[in-house]
Amino acid sequence: MRELAAQRTHDDTDAQLRAILRDVLGLKPRQVEAFTRATELFGALPELDSMAVAGLLTEIEDRLDIVIEDDEVDGEMLATYGSLLAFTEAKRAR
């Protein structure tokens, strides 16, 4: 049961995070759907400049009801879709 609930949270976070990236960065739905854990974000997506990072983080906070401290934000967290998803899931699990 617990595993099932955890899987559900994972799917939900995954879907919401994709929707946020699509909305915040104005990406095409098809592009966001094709993201894998290895897809590079910061430094690879031209849409994701440092202004956009701030907006992205605030939107993640508001939609997923979590608080992200600024000292938690670094290149590693935003490096790939997988690292951002793992960070967000860990925050929601708390």
Partner 1 sequence: MKAIAWPCPAPGGTGEEFAVVAGPEDARSRVLIAPALFEEANKTRRLLAQVMRDLSTRGIASVLPDLPGCGESPAPLERQDLASWRKAMAAAARHFATTHVLSMRGGVAVAPRTGSGWRFEPIAARSQLRTLLRTRILAARDNGGNDSPARLLDEGRHHGLELAGYRLGPAMVIALEAADLSRTSKRPTVTVAELGGVPLWRNPEPDEDPALTGALAARIGRDIAS
Instruction: Select the span of 1-9, 20-28, 30-38, 84-92 touching partner 1 (CB under 8 A).
Output: 20-28
Among 15, 54, 90, 93, contact with partner 1 (rule: CB under 8 A): 54
For residue 37, the minimal CB distance to partner 1 (Å) is 24
Q: Is the four-CA dihedral 83, 81, 74, 86 of positive or negative sign?
A: negative
Residue placing its CB nearer to partner 1 in the complex, 47 or 76: 47
For residue 69, the minimal CB distance to partner 1 (Å) is 9
Helix, strand, coil percent content, the chain, rounded in steps of 5: 65, 0, 35
Angle at 21 between CA 15 and CA 27, to 5 degrees: 115
Q: Which residue has the tokens 């949270």?
A: 9
Site residues (CB under 8 A) for partner 1? 22-26, 47, 49-59, 61-62, 70-71, 73
